[in-house]
Amino acid sequence: MTKMLVTGGAGFIGANFVHYTLKHKPEYEVTVIDKLTYAGNPDNLASILEKINFVTGDLNDQALIDKLVSENDIVVHFAADTHNDNSLNDPWPFIENNILGTYHLLEAVRKHDKRLHHISTDEVFGDLELDDPNRFTETTPYEPSSPYSASKASSDHLVRAWIRSFGIKATISNCSNNYGPYQHIEKFIPRQITNILSDIKPKLYGTGEQVRDWIHVDDHNSAVHLILEQGKLGDTYIIGADNDHVNNKAVIEMICELMGKGHDWYEHVNDRPGHDMRYAMDSSKLRRELGWQPQYTDQNGMENGLKQTIQWYTDNEEWWQAEKAKVEAKYAEQGQ
Ligand SMILES: NC(=O)c1ccc[n+]([C@@H]2O[C@H](COP(=O)([O-])OP(=O)(O)OC[C@H]3O[C@@H](n4cnc5c(N)ncnc54)[C@H](O)[C@@H]3O)[C@@H](O)[C@H]2O)c1
């Protein structure tokens, strides 16, 4: 058995990663470390809790991290503060969790000479103009726009510096926006789905022209496993499922249609300040070198992924119901 430490495993992608690992990769013994911020929910792992080790704790607790890293063979690092809007209201948790947290993890990985995979985002590259046909690649320069993306960019730079300066055995991936089960309902897609389930009209920021290159969380996680197994140490891999033809307006319309509402059963709300226009990912390196293929790609794939996600939120109302009023009240304060 390979002992795997997953940071942020009670969050959206981390929890899906742990479920995916238990289902498809029985060779791993999984330990999760999660601080359980508002975004971490132990219920995300409730059905598999007896099959994993779960530790509530902070990456910035150096003694704890040192012990956990020393006890495991590999570390997959998801933990971060992740909601852009929150980073505009209060940047500090993003500096503390994303930059200092990664620093403390890196020091433990260096000391104990363990394999690390660092999860990052396309947001580090800034955005493209709507009519720009280019996509982000592994060599696109960093140009983050928000405190969130700047903190993720900082953590990526730290990982690269630890690879170059100290020779740690690490890989990095930058992925586009994810959707799927267990995503906090403050995020764009689950917010719209749970709005409709609550008989509230979905809310479209501004004109809705922004493009996000959506990827289903299982496709993200299959790529992470491939990188763990076959990725070249020191390398970065872009992960994206070629969905950069759908803008936010089209996503809302798709959700409305799939949930039996007219395609225009939504309303416009204030745009976000500094809202990035277009993200598009060129994942050809990952496909060419490691043979990765996303399952939910192109228009059909995106629809299937959304259908599966809608079904999950419909079947798991008790998972999100208690948070709904609070999340909408917070958005209402921002005119969104
Ligand atoms: N959601 C996306 O669309 C997306 C896309 C690309 C990359 N990413 C990256 O993937 C990772 C996971 O994103 P997510 O959407 O699952 O986030 P999330 O907010 O749902 O979960 C993050 C988890 O990290 C935990 N955490 C935060 N700070 C911690 C700390 N100091 N110590 C221990 N645990 C801590 C939280 O409690 C939470 O459970 C992040 O690094 C994010 O930047 C996300």
Q: Is the pLDDT of residue 299 over 80?
A: no
User: pLDDT by residue (tens digit) across 126-142?
Assistant: 999 998 999 999 999 99
Residue 8's domain comprises 2-179+212-239
Angle at 151 between CA 128 and CA 108, to 5 degrees: 135
Examine residue 56 and state whether it is found in any structural domain, yes or no: yes
Examine residue 320 and state whether it is found in any structural domain, yes or no: no
Examine residue 299 and state whether it is found in any structural domain, yes or no: no
Phi, psi of 278 (to 5 degrees): -140, 130
Is 81's C-beta closer than 6 angstroms to any atom of ligand 1? yes
On the 0-12 / 13-18 / 19+ scale of CB atoms within 10 A, 207 is exposed
Q: Is the pLDDT of residue 68 over 80?
A: yes
Q: Is the pLDDT of residue 334 over 90?
A: no
Q: Quick one: average pLDDT of 301-314? A: 96
pTM score of the predicted model: 0.96
Is 144's C-beta closer than 6 angstroms to any atom of ligand 1? no
Q: Quick one: average pLDDT of 78-90? A: 93
The protein residue with its alpha carbon nearest to ligand 1, atom 12, reads 78
Is 124's C-beta closer than 6 angstroms to any atom of ligand 1? no
Q: Is the pLDDT of residue 112 over 90?
A: yes
- Which atom of ligand 1 is closest in space to residue 101's alpha carbon? 31
Of 10, 296, 310, 14, residue with least CA distance to 189: 310
Examine residue 172 and state whether it is found in any structural domain, yes or no: yes
- How many domains is the chain built from? 1
Examine residue 305 and state whether it is found in any structural domain, yes or no: no
Per-residue pLDDT band for 144 (boundaries 50, 70, 90) equals: very high
Examine residue 147 and state whether it is found in any structural domain, yes or no: yes
How far, in Å, from the CA of 39 to the mean position of ligand 1?
8
Q: Is the pLDDT of residue 78 over 90?
A: yes
How far, in Å, from the CA of 224 to the mean position of ligand 1?
15
Per-residue pLDDT band for 61 (boundaries 50, 70, 90) equals: very high
The protein residue with its alpha carbon nearest to ligand 1, atom 31, reads 97
The protein residue with its alpha carbon nearest to ligand 1, atom 11, reads 78
Per-residue pLDDT band for 54 (boundaries 50, 70, 90) equals: very high
How far, in Å, from the CA of 294 to the mean position of ligand 1?
21
Examine residue 189 and state whether it is found in any structural domain, yes or no: no
* Cα dihedral value 43, 74, 84, 162, nearest 10: 160
Q: Quick one: average pLDDT of 211-235? A: 97
How far, in Å, from the CA of 158 to the mean position of ligand 1?
17
**Which amino acid does the sequence have at 138?**
E
Q: Which two tokens stand for residue 208?
A: 């809705």
The CA distances from residue 88 to 180, 234, 329, in Å, are: 25, 32, 17
What distance in Å separates the CA atoms of residue 11 and residue 75, rounded to the nearest whole number? 16
Please name every residue paired with 269 in a beta bridge, in sequence order, or none if there are none: 205
User: pLDDT by residue (tens digit) across 256-298?
Assistant: 999 999 999 999 998 877 778 999 999 999 999 999 999 999 8
Ranges 92-96, 236-240, 296-300: which has the least confidence? 296-300
How far, in Å, from the CA of 260 to the mean position of ligand 1?
32
Is 211's C-beta closer than 6 angstroms to any atom of ligand 1? no
Is 175's C-beta closer than 6 angstroms to any atom of ligand 1? yes
Is 163's C-beta closer than 6 angstroms to any atom of ligand 1? no
* Mean pLDDT value across the chain: 96
Is 36's C-beta closer than 6 angstroms to any atom of ligand 1? yes
Q: Which two tokens stand for residue 40?
A: 């971490």
The residues carrying an active-site annotation are 122-123, 148
How far, in Å, from the CA of 64 to the mean position of ligand 1?
19
Looking up residue 125, the CATH number of its domain turns out to be: 3.40.50.720
Examine residue 260 and state whether it is found in any structural domain, yes or no: no
